[in-house]
Amino acid sequence: MAEVRRTFTVAAPLEKVVAYLRDFANTTAWDPGTVKCEQTTPGPVAVGTQWRNVSSFFRRTTELTYRMTRDDPDHVVFEGRNKSAATSDDLAFERVGDHSTSITYRAHLQFTGLARFADPVARLAFEVLAAKTVKQMTGVLEAR
């Protein structure tokens, strides 16, 4: 199992940050591991909405189905699954003045079956990816 947690502040108002990050299709812009992500359920984004996400990890491409499991004004959670992994992206938000937002980003990755033997290496790779994610997410949110 690999877990990372990062708390950082972006120069963007809370409502804009949450509105953007609650649509998981936007991971193509802020997550350096995401190659493609598209909503697969019709209608507006809400708890239960699903996305097909194609990611590159360990120089391999993998596809996961993500589902929004929490959609609060200050906290959103997405859970992803495929036959060899279960993941979650947990984003909590706090207003910092009128024009900034603190984001606590928690990511969790657990391999299943034979893939679980990759856990020690995954932890290291996940730490590197988390640092890149914070930098990329900050840049995207502040440019909007």
Task: Specify which residues 71 forms β-bridges with.
Answer: 76
Distances (CA, A) of 75 to 14, 30, 68, 72: 11, 17, 11, 5
Q: Is the pLDDT of residue 19 over 50?
A: yes
Q: What is the pLDDT of residues 31-80, one digit of tens each?
A: 999 999 999 999 999 999 999 999 987 677 889 999 999 999 999 999 99
Q: Which domains does the chain possess? A: 2-143 (3.30.530.20)
Please name the residues in contact with 93: beta carbons below 8 A apart, sequence gap of 6 or more.
Answer: 14, 17, 18, 74, 75, 101, 102, 103, 104
pLDDT in tens, 71-98: 999 999 999 999 988 999 999 999 999 8
